[in-house]
Amino acid sequence: MPHSTYQRQKNGSAVITPSTRVIAGSAASFNLIYTAGYFGIDDTGSIKIVQRYASDMAKPQFDDPAATNYVSVEASNGAVLDARFDVKQNIRPWGKTLYIKIVKGYLREGDKIIVRYGDPRNGCPGIRMQTFCEKTFEFKVLVDAFATCDYVELPESPVLEIIPGDAVKWFAVLPTLRRIGEPFRLSLKAEDAWGNPVPGSDQVIRLKANHPVKNLPDAIQLKPGQFAVEIENLIIEDECELAVEMADVSGKYLGQSNPLRIAKSASLLPFWADLHGQSEETIGTNSVRDYFEFGRNRAFLDALCHQGNDFQITNAFWTELQSVTREFNEPGRFIAFPGYEWSGNTALGGDHNVIFLNEGEQIHRSSHALISDLTDGYTDRHTSKELFETLRGRQVFVYAHVGGRYADLNLTKDIDLQYAVEIHSAWGTFEWLLHDAFSVGKCVGVVANSDGHKGRPGVSYPGASLFGSYGGLTCFLATELTREAIFESLLRRHHFATTGCRMLLDTKIVQPDGTQTAMMGDIFDTNDENVLLCIEALCSAPIERIDIFNGTNLVETCRTYGAGDLGRRIRVTWEGAEYRGRGRETCWDGSVELNGNIFESATSINFWNPENPLEQESVSRLSWKSLTTGGFSGFEAILKESGGGTLTLHTPLMSKVIELAAIGFEDLIFEAGGLGRRIRMFRLPNANHVRKINLNRKIRLNRHQRNPLYIRVIQEDGHTGWSSPIYVNRS
């Protein structure tokens, strides 16, 4: 829905100077100069300078001219101005608003308002810019020339281009399973400190595989302007588990790929997808075409879907979106699905992702809240129940989502529709949503996606905003890379979810003779009291633990080491959320101090904001700024002495003094209320190199009810994976 267009040419103009490229996340100083038009601006009139909701440019401050993020405002004619900033004071998605009001005087045509962002004149080092790249980072200027609060949008908005910084980390991406002799590709790229892909500058990267690979070069060169390299037609002629290491020309280690299993045979192959994110046509960043190009060429996804908020999807954009998905869909190479996010209010059912098999389907919005054309308003479905009843029988799949609005599964528990729950996204981790599905009797699979707003589907870093997590991925186990095969995987719940890492995960139930009865996602009936659950995980980092669940009940926690292997390494983590809704962020800013011991080293876990690192202030004190939105963060430390001394913990929710000798094999857990808020402390071996585990566990079944058996795998790097449940009905 546009702002007023009344006499736009007579409401003035705005420019940015200097209008240069700006590095993402850097401190910058520049001026936005508004020049009044024919009407001027009357006494008590105002302007708004608005940015997209997705932007995480630092919040301006107006009080300390020597401090970071200082912004000054000045009228060229001496009129007195008042400035304030609010993250939500304008029509979505242009909510972030610098509001400047004339409190004494007025402007004539040609008078100016000068806004100095990061005003350097009194020592301000600059304002921290948006942390992700954007071709046209726009400052939309709205003018209330008549002091009526009816704002006119200027015809042209000043823009800056946000570009990546220097490369600080390298990534190598392999598929996770292929058959002997089956061609595969290795994809490589570099990222800056904020997760933006960095173009090459003639870097040479050496490659070293742990197994012979046909057609793999010893080194590759990332040419100037080249954001990624894909090495095609790689082949391995025998069974193995492949990993590829990267090093620079001096031999310095740069990183290792995720693991790839080469199997003699496999009926299903894993394909990686992010089926939930947005572009600038709704509330995201960069165009929908940029969105699909990024997912395919820089995130190295196999499948992608665009999920714009329905009340912002015009008919014109719905047509354009389907044209783009049709164009990008390439069976065997990259799959693009059409879809949208049904964004109903929580009381009416909450967010759900609608994914169509093919183009040409009717969009049924939750409302036309931000769409002025109401000619198709009759197609709206205002409740999730109405939506489900309309979609039933069509080639469509639906995810329950937790974002600004969380899905209420009770409203649709009696309607049979293909269904999964999104257990993780950039908004946080929501295992409780899976438990909601159990409580209403639904057999669902688990998925994870980014719900990215920053133009980086598949590798969605939260940046400096209140998004609490790195975006997730879903691995579909399918016969081939086509729309139909991915949909078949969805229908059968043959998929698993991760917080963004690429692991290989398998769960199945087998008979005593070794024959498989059910795999991940299957529904299985039995008269037996017990079943044998077989678990395999091949991970991208050492395994911290595997949790086995029967529904909401934690059956067992399995580790790759025993109590006798523990050393001087401890972990302290915090997790959970305030509650289910928008304000779920929980602040864990805090510190720990040692008495009678020292920290030899300390490393953060799931600290995604480079501006807020774990600080080692001394050999006995650590401090941090951290928030969680359902998932977990924390640190691990190596102690000088294994058991001596005490640890004193301070956070806003609790303070504790713990004997270090009490931190052992089993978790020490301190509950903190809210939605699963707690602190854990436990000890690990000094080193753990185990990335692969095979487990067989006899699971006792609950009688006369459904038993949803699933696992949660936690890696030492903080990433997590969940299997879709096997639903065992014991009669």
H or E stretch covering 607:
none
Average pLDDT over residues 270-285: 96
**How many distinct structural domains can be found in the chain?**
5
Dihedral (CA of 74, 75, 80, 84) sign? negative
**Cβ-proximal residues to 582 (8 Å cutoff; 6+ apart), any chain:** 404, 405
Same domain, 453 and 397: yes
Which residue from 579, 581, 580, 561 is spatially nearest to 569, judged by alpha carbons?
Answer: 561
Q: Is residue 3 assigned to a domain? A: no
Q: Among residues 227, 243, 263, which one ends one of the domains?
A: 263
Give residue 477's pLDDT band: very low, low, confident or very high (50, 70, 90): very high
Q: Is residue 283 assigned to a domain? A: yes
Q: Which two tokens stand for residue 679?
A: 């602190």
Q: Is residue 430 assigned to a domain? A: yes
Per-residue pLDDT tens digits for 590-614:
999 999 999 999 999 999 999 999 9
From the CB of residue 123, how many other CB atoms can be counted at a distance below 10 Å? 11
CATH of the domain at 623: 2.60.40
Rounded distance, CA 86 to CA 82, Å? Answer: 14
Same domain, 613 and 649: yes
Q: Is residue 2 assigned to a domain? A: no
The whole-number pLDDT of residue 581 equals 87
Cβ density class 586-598: b for 16+ within 10 Å, e for less? bebebebbbeebe
Same domain, 238 and 298: no
Same domain, 382 and 491: yes
Q: What is the pTM of this model?
A: 0.95
Q: Is residue 674 assigned to a domain? A: yes
Q: Is residue 647 assigned to a domain? A: yes
Cis peptide before 197 (omega within 30 of 0): no
Same domain, 452 and 469: yes
> C-alpha angle 541/547/553, rounded to 5°?
160
Per-residue pLDDT tens digits for 542-589:
999 999 999 999 999 999 999 999 999 999 999 999 999 888 999 999
Same domain, 420 and 491: yes
CATH of the domain at 200: 2.60.40.1930
CATH of the domain at 366: 3.20.20.140
Q: Among residues 263, 293, 311, which one ends one of the domains?
A: 263
The whole-number pLDDT of residue 97 equals 97
Mean pLDDT (the chain, rounded): 96
Average pLDDT over residues 670-686: 97
Same domain, 353 and 494: yes
Average pLDDT over residues 263-274: 97
Same domain, 33 and 117: yes
Same domain, 137 and 66: yes
Q: Is pLDDT of 467 > 80? A: no
The amino acid sitting at 219 is A
Same domain, 316 and 426: yes
The whole-number pLDDT of residue 404 equals 83
From the CB of residue 672, how many other CB atoms can be counted at a distance below 10 Å? 18
Same domain, 28 and 53: yes
The whole-number pLDDT of residue 2 equals 67
Q: Is residue 1 assigned to a domain? A: no
Three-class DSSP labels, 42-104: CCCCEEEEEECCCCCCCCCECCCCCCCCEEEEEECCCCEEEEEEECCCCCCCCCEEEEEEEEE
Give residue 446's pLDDT band: very low, low, confident or very high (50, 70, 90): very high
The CA radius of gyration of the chain, in Å to the nearest whole number, is 27
Which residue from 203, 228, 232, 205 is spatially nearest to 216, judged by alpha carbons?
Answer: 232
- Token pair 């690990």 is at which residue? 684
Q: Is residue 615 assigned to a domain? A: yes
Could you list the residue range(s) of the whole structural domain that residue 29 is in?
Answer: 8-163
Give residue 211's pLDDT band: very low, low, confident or very high (50, 70, 90): very high
Same domain, 47 and 145: yes
Q: Among residues 163, 178, 208, which one ends one of the domains?
A: 163
CATH of the domain at 543: 2.60.40.10
